[in-house]
């Protein structure tokens, strides 16, 4: 008898009916002969409602208390899921992150899991219970304080439990049928991937595919846990995330397979250009040190060749739009010291990325990518590449056209529309 870990997000447990549907799904897995452990998120918008309450009493609540507050959300959903399972005649026990042994560091609001000690949930499994665990939360190793894991926390909880329990698979239930070659809302002929490697999934997640969070995929890769991304609204097989592009077996099996896993896009970034930076040693370092000190995560960075006549250069980079104001303020404060000419800020950009392990062994992918974008009449602003990814920055209004053109150029289109998006969020 194997252990299956399942994860249900907030939209899957949004109300009483949804919770009863999830309970039936969980009971099916138990009936199939598995031991079942489930990680759940807070119901629907309840986390936002708790944040709203917090903002009513304090404009800047202490992080410790915010974690105490937000963890009430999963406590509610996990107890309700356990009740609904019980109502179906099966025995379920819910556990908080702390009770489940999810040990984290002490960084409130974005704690990292450093260990899972699943003794208590293993005992509950051994006694025949279905185990429901609060996602997104843990307890700090040093101070025994309640922590939250930040964005994508429940996915990470599920994978961490799967690793600690040596589960057969971690099933991530969502409102789409799996991982697609592009966002089906932009490319109706996008195809569902049957399998995708950890590395490709990481690049897809980093480039805007919102289906799985980066941390969860990193965790799964580290512990070699297969992730099955599937719909909570259907019984179709979803997408299996497993295997490395460096595995001999994978390389052989993909010799005949698709070169490209998919086309991702991201409209959440902005672009800053520092114009007229003196082309001296150390100037760029001072700029990027200031941004790092302000806790800004940069994505793509481009430095143009210095114009020989002026000995000045331009430095451009992309960053999350939400960090835009802080980054501009940090750079403004640096102007006299560095002596650059001006700053430009552009929020009307989008990023389009082509991802596939096969591009390592197939020359010409880059050329074909750029050609397809050009044929769609779209101008490329910045370029960056990794071993299995090419990303370009374009105008925000050109994102859809660039994605569709690329998807077609690489023969990713299905013969008929197969994607069904069940929820409204595309998550």
Binding site for a second copy (CB under 8 A): 15-17, 19-20, 23, 50, 53-54, 56-62, 64-66, 68-69, 71-73, 75-76, 78-84, 86-87, 92-94, 99, 144
Closest listed residue to residue 172, CA positions, set 104, 257, 241: 241
Residue 153: CB minimum distance to a second copy, A: 17
Residue 313 CB, nearest approach to a second copy (Å): 46
DSSP H/E element including 409: helix 399-409
| Smallest gap from residue 67 Cβ to a second copy (A) | 8
Nearer to a second copy, 140 or 273 (CB): 140
CB atoms within 10 A of CB 358: 18
Residue 75 Cβ vs a second copy, minimum distance, rounded to whole Å: 4
Beta bridge partners of 7: 39, 172
Q: What is the residue whose two structure tokens read 């002596």?
A: 339
Residue closer to a second copy by CB (options 139, 392) is 139
Comparing CB distances to a second copy, the nearer of 144 and 362 is 144
Q: Which is nearer to a second copy, 139 or 201 (CB)?
A: 139
Q: How far is the CB of 21 from a second copy (least distance, A)?
A: 11
Q: How far is CA 93 from the centre of its chain?
A: 29
- Closer CB to a second copy, 91 or 379, in the complex: 91
Closer CB to a second copy, 77 or 391, in the complex = 77
Strands in 301-303's sheet, in edge-to-edge order, are 301-303, 312-320, 269-278, 342-346
Distance (Å) of CA 352 to CA 52, 199, 365, 372, 379: 34, 18, 15, 12, 12
Q: Residue 79 CB, nearest distance to a second copy (Å)?
A: 4
Quote the DSSP letter at residue 224.
Answer: T
DSSP string, 28-47: HHHHTT-EEEEEE---TTHH
Please choose, from the candidates 128, 16, 36, 28, the residue with its C-alpha nearest in 3D space to the C-alpha of residue 88.
28
Q: Give how far Cα 83 sits from Cα of 20, 87, 89, 211, Å.
A: 9, 6, 10, 28
Query: CB-wise, 73 or 208, nearer to a second copy?
Result: 73
Q: List the Cα angle 216/228/79 in 5-degree steps.
A: 70
Closer CB to a second copy, 50 or 186, in the complex: 50
For residues 359 and 273, the answer to whether their CB atoms sit within 8 Å is no
Shortest reach from residue 80's CB to a second copy, in Å: 5
Residue 1's CB is within 10 A of a number of other CB atoms, namely: 8
* Nearest to a second copy of 76, 328 (CB atom): 76
Helices then strands, counting H and E runs in the chain, come out as: 13, 20
- Closer to a second copy by CB, 86 or 386: give it: 86
Nearer to a second copy, 61 or 226 (CB): 61
Counting every residue, how long is the chain?
A: 427
Spatial distance between the Cα atoms of 231 and 211, rounded to a whole number of angstroms? 11
Q: How far is the CB of 404 from a second copy (least distance, A)?
A: 43
As measured in angstroms, the least distance from the Cβ of 132 to a second copy is 9
**DSSP labels, 114-144:** EEE-THHHHHHHHTT-EEEEETTEEEETTT-
Shortest distance in whole angstroms from residue 86 CB to a second copy: 5
The Cα 122–Cα 101 span in angstroms is 10
Shortest Å distance, C-beta 62 to a second copy = 5
Spatial distance between the Cα atoms of 130 and 113, rounded to a whole number of angstroms: 23
């Amino acid at each position: 008898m194997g252990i299956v870990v399942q994860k249900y997000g907030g939209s899957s447990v949004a109300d009483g009916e949804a919770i009863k549907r999830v309970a039936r799904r969980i009971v099916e897995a138990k009936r199939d002969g598995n031991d079942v452990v489930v990680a759940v998120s807070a119901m629907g918008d309840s986390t936002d409602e708790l944040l709203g309450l917090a903002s009513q009493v304090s404009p800047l609540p202490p992080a410790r208390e915010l974690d105490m507050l937000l963890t009430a959300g999963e406590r509610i959903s996990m107890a309700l899921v356990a009740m609904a399972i019980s109502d179906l005649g099966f025995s379920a026990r819910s556990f908080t992150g702390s009770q489940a042994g999810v040990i984290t560091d002490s960084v409130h609001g974005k704690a990292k899991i450093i260990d899972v000690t699943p003794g208590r949930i293993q005992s509950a499994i051994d006694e025949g219970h279905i185990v429901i665990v609060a996602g997104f939360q843990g307890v700090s190793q040093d101070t025994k304080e309640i922590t939250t894991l930040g964005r994508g926390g429940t996915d990470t909880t599920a994978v961490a439990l799967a690793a600690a329990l040596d589960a057969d698979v971690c099933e991530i239930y969502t409102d789409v049928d799996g991982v697609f070659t592009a966002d089906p809302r932009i490319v109706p002929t996008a195809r569902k991937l049957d399998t995708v490697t950890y590395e490709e999934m990481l690049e897809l997640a980093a480039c805007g595919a919102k289906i799985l969070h980066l941390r969860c995929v990193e965790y799964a890769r580290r512990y070699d846990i297969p992730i099955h991304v599937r719909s909570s609204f259907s019984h179709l097989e979803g997408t299996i995330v497993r295997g490395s592009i460096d595995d001999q077996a994978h390389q052989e099996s993909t010799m005949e397979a698709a070169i490209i896993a998919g086309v991702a896009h991201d409209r959440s970034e902005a672009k800053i250009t520092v114009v007229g930076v003196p082309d001296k040693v150390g100037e760029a370092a001072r700029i990027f040190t200031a941004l790092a000190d302000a806790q800004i995560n940069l994505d793509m960075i481009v430095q143009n060749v210095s114009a020989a006549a002026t000995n000045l250069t331009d430095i451009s980079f992309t960053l999350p739009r939400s960090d835009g104001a802080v980054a501009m303020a940090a750079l403004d404060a640096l102007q006299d010291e560095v002596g650059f000419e001006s700053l430009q800020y552009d929020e009307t950009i989008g990023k389009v990325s082509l991802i596939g392990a096969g591009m390592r062994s197939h020359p010409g992918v880059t050329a074909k990518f750029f050609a397809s974008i050009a044929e769609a009449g779209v101008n490329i602003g910045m370029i960056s590449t990794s071993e299995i990814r090419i990303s370009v920055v374009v105008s925000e209004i050109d994102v859809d056209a660039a994605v569709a053109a690329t998807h077609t150029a690489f023969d990713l289109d299905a013969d008929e529309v197969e994607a069904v998006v069940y929820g409204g969020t595309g998550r």
